[in-house]
Amino acid sequence: MKILSAQQLAEADQSTIDKNQITSNDLMEHIAKLIFDRIHQRLQGSPVPIKIFCGIGKNGGDGLALSRHMIQHGYHVTTYVTNYSKKRAPEFLFHYDKIKEVTKDWPILLSSEKDFPELHPQDIIIDAIFGTGINRPIDGWMAQLVHYLNKTPAFKLAIDMPSGLYANNSQDIDSPIIQAQHTFSFETPKLSFFLPETGHYAGTFEVVPIGLDPEYMMKAEPLAQIISSDAAKSMYKPRKKFSHKGDFGHVLTMAGSKGKMGAAVLATGAAVNMGAGKVTAYIPEHANSILQSSIPEVMTISSKSKDYITDFDHDLKDITLCVGPGLSTGDDVKHAFAKALSQQTQPVVIDADGLNILSDNPEYWKMIPNNSILTPHDGELKQLIGRWKDDYDRIEKAKNLSIDKDVILVLKGAHTIIISGKNLYINDTGNPGMATAGSGDVLSGMIAGLLAQHYDSLTAAVFGVFIHGRAGDIASQTYAHEGLKASIISNFVGAAILDLFRPEPQQQPQQQ
């Protein structure tokens, strides 16, 4: 699914209006009905007090049209208008008048702090103050209103966006922003919903398809793409009946050091679980029995040194290298790392200490084959690209590195972002149970397993990240977030692949 900018969404609105020969008011009416249906399906006519706060732009218009539908269906609605300027949108005015069709009460105008209504924990608050049109921080008494609404424990539902949040631009995150529990986002989610500094404001979010012009949507150059289950499914390569292990490649993991052999076991095991035809672990000499007894499917070769990998003298022809987990960063280790890299011509996966070595030794960049995949968490990323001002700066800097070095970057986090040049792919699988030691090692082994099976680099990164998260999601249904651990995520890779082919659950019919 594409993520478009606020400006593109406004263009898509206009194009929809023009092509369908409808008015902006008609489109708003259509959207309000869609939103109403979703709320009605959940509330089923419950007499809960509903307080709708409307701005004076189009987002406020959405709020007024929604309010009318809710009143018409017997909900206990109070409508407030934040009367902060005289510049009212025509759509706002249209729906403001129309509310009189269903009630004798005009909406209550709020013009200062003294007008703020009393709120109760059991209220449902609907935020239709600002949407994608926000272009500066909320200030004055409106800022107080946002703080006032945020203070109440009442459930807050945002229409299109939590008010105060920018869709896709840098902003001062200390400025007032509604903290919603849930957001109905029109047509596509906004980029800010996926970024660590701002994502929490939207709460859980739900994309409401509003029927924007399909031609515009198809042609639009996205800011980013969310990796959908359908997209992941289309990436999957089914196996041919007469295939043999030689068809599925050979991964060499170069990982581990004294006290950190778990990282090698996890990355190596994940390459096996992801389906590599053969996997060899290149490890310190003393770790042989650890690997062999942990993963019988794996072959090993040992470094000359007991506790670290300090040399490299192997033919890497037709082998996919996954280097870094638990490797450590000593001088000898770093020379072995450079030697392994210098022999590589096909893309490699570099993680953890491999990235730390690379940051400290920028001269090694020239040894990295094009389209290699680097999987930094934020600590490692900071060393690679320097400090960033905010999430947008982080993405820009990472894009520049990806373009400059011709590598694919996997920026790990709650929503991992895969960066290939100027293209962004955002992952929506995974859960906080995956914030556990070693889950990144599993990811790097999985991606190497896919590369070995002839997935191209971008697909290996995108599909690997998606399946890793989905494996964590399925596993967490048995183990809970707390009980999830890296080896379990790895063991659920197969379940995650099967899940791609599970039929979608049937939609519940909507109540009217």
Ligand X SMILES: Nc1ncnc2c1ncn2[C@@H]1O[C@H](COP(=O)(O)OP(=O)(O)O)[C@@H](O)[C@H]1O
91 binds, among ligand NAX, K ion, ligand X, none (CB under 5 to 8 A by kind): ligand NAX
Residue 24's binding partner out of ligand X, K ion, ligand NAX, none, with CB under 5 to 8 Å set by partner kind: ligand NAX
Task: Write out the residues near ligand X by the rule CB under 6 A.
Answer: 377, 412-414, 416, 430-432, 434-435, 437-441, 443, 468
Q: Which residue is nearest to ligand X (CB)?
A: 440
**Rounded CA separation 347/320 (Å):** 7
Q: Does 163 bind K ion (CB under 5 A)?
A: yes
Candidate ranges 27-35, 68-76, 122-130, 168-176; the one touching K ion (CB under 5 A): 122-130
Nearer to ligand NAX, 173 or 367 (CB): 173
CA dist 416 and 227 (Å) reads 10
Which of 91, 127, 351, 380 binds K ion (CB under 5 A)? It is: 127
Binding site for ligand NAX (CB under 6 A): 13, 24, 27-28, 31, 55, 57-62, 84, 89, 91, 130-138, 159-161, 186
Q: What DSSP string runs through 4-29?
A: --HHHHHHHHHHHHHHHT--HHHHHH
Nearer to K ion, 96 or 492 (CB): 96
249 is in an annotated binding site: no
Residue linked to tokens 């992941």:
232
Residue 281 is inside which H or E element, if any? strand 278-283
Does 293 belong to an annotated binding site?
no
Minimal distance in Å, beta carbon 132 to ligand NAX?
Answer: 4
Q: Is 412 annotated as a binding residue?
A: yes
Strands (E), 294-446: 299-302, 320-323, 349-350, 373-374, 408-411, 417-420, 423-426
- Residue 452 is labelled as binding a ligand: no
163 vs 305, beta carbon nearer K ion: 163
| 127 contact choice in K ion, ligand NAX, ligand X, none (CB below 5 to 8 Å, kind-dependent) | K ion
Residue 429, annotated as binding a ligand: no
- Which among 406, 361, 367 is positioned nearest to 384, based on CA atoms? 361
The interface partner of residue 440, options being ligand X, ligand NAX, K ion, none and the CB cut-off 5 to 8 Å by kind, is ligand X
DSSP 255: -
The Cα 440–Cα 377 span in angstroms is 8
Of 199 and 275, which CB lies nearer to ligand X in the complex structure?
199
Which residue's CB is nearer to K ion, number 134 or number 489?
134
Pairing mode, strands 423-426 and 417-420 = antiparallel
Q: Helical H runs in 309-352?
A: 331-342
The listed partner (K ion, ligand X, ligand NAX, none) that binds 27, CB under 5 to 8 Å by sort, is ligand NAX
Nearer to ligand NAX, 60 or 325 (CB): 60
Sheet holding 224-226, edge to edge: 2-3, 224-226, 423-426, 417-420, 408-411, 373-374, 349-350, 320-323, 250-254, 278-283, 299-302
